[in-house]
Amino acid sequence: MGIDSYLISSSVIAVMAQRLVRKICQHCAETVPLTEKEADLLKISQESFPEIKRGKGCERCANTGYRGRLGLYELLILSDEIRHIIGSGGDANQIRAQAVKEGLKILRQDALEKLYQGITTPEEIVRVTRAV
């Protein structure tokens, strides 16, 4: 961004990332098995996610199977360690690795929780988040 890293590390306390996913229409949601291809795309095992929800399409959702949107969030708190990484010219991957070590719940994890709760679909997750 053309900003000196010392300015970022001394003035920013947290960074939040947000993505919007479409929510499954609750009027036509049905339980379906997670396919092998979907499990591969999400890099999860079919055993841990045997079933997901999916809207089959109805009048209320104009046959899209989706109705409404939901935000997925990732909150990165700039700890002393992370400030140190930024200050010494560390890259995004180093910052992320440290943040995960400190308990950062990354977007993909938040997304998978929403999948597990039957709120959104694998396609939506793959569209807005990247694999770990």
Candidate list 61, 72, 85, 95; residue touching Zn ion; CB under 5 A: 61
Give the residue among 63, 59, 87, 79 at the shortest CA–CA distance from 13.
79
What is the number of the residue whose Cβ is closest to Zn ion?
25
CB-wise, 29 or 115, nearer to Zn ion? 29
- Closest distance to Zn ion from the beta carbon of 121 (Å): 13
What's the closest the beta carbon of residue 54 comes to Zn ion, in angstroms? 10
What is the spatial distance between Cα 19 and Cα 130, in angstroms, rounded to a whole number?
11
Backbone phi, psi, residue 88, to 5°:
-100, 20
Query: How far apart, in whole angstroms, are the C-alpha atoms of residue 58 and residue 68?
Result: 14
Q: On the CB side of 83, how many CA atoms lie within 13 Å of its CA? A: 13
With binding defined as CB under 5 A, does residue 69 bind Zn ion? Answer: no
- The two structure tokens encoding residue 56: 């089959």
The one among 10, 27, 68, 69 contacting Zn ion by CB under 5 A: 27
Among 28, 44, 82, 85, binds Zn ion (CB under 5 A): 28
Given the rule CB under 5 A, which residues bind Zn ion? Answer: 25, 27-28, 55, 58, 60-61
